[in-house]
Homo-oligomer: A and B are copies of this chain.
Amino acid sequence: MNKEKIQKIKPELGGGLRDYLPKDMIPRQKILDTIRGVFESFGFLPIDTPAIEKKVILTGGDPEFKKQIFEIKSPDGEGDLALRFDLTVPLARVVSAYPNEIKKPFKRYQVGKVFRGERSQAGRFKEFLQFDADIVGAPSVLADAEIVALINETLTKLGIKNFLIRVNNRKILNGLAEYAGFKEEKIGEVLRAIDKIDRDGWASVEKDLSRELKSKDSVKAIKAFVDLSASANPLVKARKIMEKSSAASNGIEELERISDYLKAFGVPEKNWKIDFSVARGLGYYTGPVFEAILKDLPQIGSVFSGGRYDDLVSRFGGSSIPATGASIGVDRLFVAMEKLDLINNENSIAKVIVLNFDENCAEYVAEITAKLRRAGITTNLYLGQEKGLKGQLSYAISEGYEYVILAGDEEKSSSKVQLKNTKTRTQENLTLEQLIEKLKTL
């Protein structure tokens, strides 16, 4: 690289992107470890796929999808590549691509960045980390119930207390046109509208529906249906008013079974409810859908959501394969947990730092550092530009180290070290063996 060509460049990110510094990244990794632990305890297995996919894999040939997709110009000239917008479509590709390697049922989890070119808003990012769990080749709604149980267990293990998993069934929504007397082709618009009740309120949604359907009776019927969610026994009542639609009746029956299974899985009743306004935006859902919201932060939207998508895998040839799953938006969850005061910011991981204030003792402190690490004690070594003890000590304290090891000429010649407690301001003169013994008990 020619130095003259290099300009001074502003160290900026593009819009809708964010960095995680250690104080946020340390607790974020704990969140990821917790999620992985729960997913593995349920028998989900990890896969990984590239962020770059062929564009046609992602869009399914549907031009409607292109608007949120980042297209890529490959320097070697390969065309028609793009960045994935979720981990579900890549899963469907993988299931189709490796029919012999992958035995079904296939319970897989995957964590990875996904990319959506939406306008930035609070808690929404162009690039964000998703953590998904899916069960492919699982026809029974017992699988959907297990996904809801997984959502419940994960949020509980993360220390979130006041959440609600809202459960619905696309099959019921598909019966809505017949029940409310509007044209089948309007169903997309109607679902998009009722999905917003939670965020925008009924008054705003009512306006949209009236404009779209031009029938007061239809809008009234939709309102009556959605309002059932707040009543006792919504499924019993829904069964009555939608008995003409066989799709809806089947969907209601599935939710009844899911209710029973959730009880068997031990999911507390306060943590979930039937909610007929849940539609979920993505086009590929075919059965039960679910989304977890945080009751103390309704405006942040859902943090863990998904549903059944029995037809997606058939996009890649072959027959339909029943599949269900859900996805955590890790970055949005992190923002929410910060607001809920559930994030413990930390500045260090190592237990102790060895200072290095005497050039003649550099080899001695290196030796101590290596021996502590070999004894299983996480150990930092001061390698910065402060030469004096005082400056190094103040760095150690600002980074949150409770224990600091000092070794100068005197310690070196007696093969000892000083262990300083920065909180109690006490100091002990120890041999290396004593030091290791002591640190292991702390």
CB neighbours (8 Å) of A322 from chain B are 385
Q: Which of A17-25, A223-231, A269-277, A300-308 contacts B (4 or more CB under 8 A)?
A: A17-25
A1 touches B373 (CB 8 A): no
CB neighbours (8 Å) of A369 from chain B are 265
Whether a CB of chain B sits under 8 angstroms from the CB of A43 is: yes
A45 to B145, CA, bound (A): 38
A11: contacting residue among B21, B23, B93, B115, CB under 8 A: B93
Whether a CB of chain B sits under 8 angstroms from the CB of A341 is: no
Whether a CB of chain B sits under 8 angstroms from the CB of A159 is: no
CB distance from A146 to the nearest CB of B (A): 6
A70 touches B73 (CB 8 A): yes
Tally of A interface residues using CB under 8 Å: 135
Task: Name, among A28, A102, A126, the residue most crowded by chain B CB atoms within 10 Å (CB to CB).
Answer: A126
Given contacts A78-B14, A107-B380, A265-B367, contact A385 B137 (CB under 8 A): yes
Given contacts A1-B62, A21-B102, A46-B25, contact A52 B142 (CB under 8 A): no
Whether a CB of chain B sits under 8 angstroms from the CB of A201 is: no
CB distance from A365 to the nearest CB of B (A): 8
Using an 8 Å CB-CB cutoff, how does the interface string of A364-378 with B read, 1 for contact, 0 for none? 101101110110111
A142: contacting residue among B15, B18, B68, B356, CB under 8 A: B356
Given contacts A14-B54, A54-B13, A362-B142, contact A383 B105 (CB under 8 A): yes
Looking across the interface, which residue of chain B has its beta carbon closest to that of A331? B48
B140 touches A383 (CB 8 A): yes
A41 to B364, CA, bound (A): 19
B75 touches A117 (CB 8 A): yes
Residues 93-126 (chain A) with a chain B CB within 8 angstroms: 93-94, 96-98, 101-105, 107-108, 113, 115, 117-119, 126
B127 touches A264 (CB 8 A): no
A101 to B345, CA, bound (A): 13
Whether a CB of chain B sits under 8 angstroms from the CB of A182 is: no
Whether a CB of chain B sits under 8 angstroms from the CB of A350 is: yes
In the A-B complex, the 9 residue pairs with the closest CB atoms? A43-B380, A75-B117, A1-B283, A105-B384, A22-B45, A264-B366, A11-B96, A43-B350, A264-B363
- Residues of chain A having any CB pair with chain B under 8 Å: 1-3, 5-15, 17-23, 25-26, 28-29, 40-54, 56-57, 60-76, 78, 81, 83, 92-94, 96-98, 101-105, 107-108, 113, 115, 117-119, 126-127, 135, 137-140, 142-143, 145-146, 149, 153, 260-261, 263-266, 283-284, 311, 315-317, 322, 347-350, 353, 356, 362-364, 366-367, 369-371, 373-374, 376-385, 395, 398-399
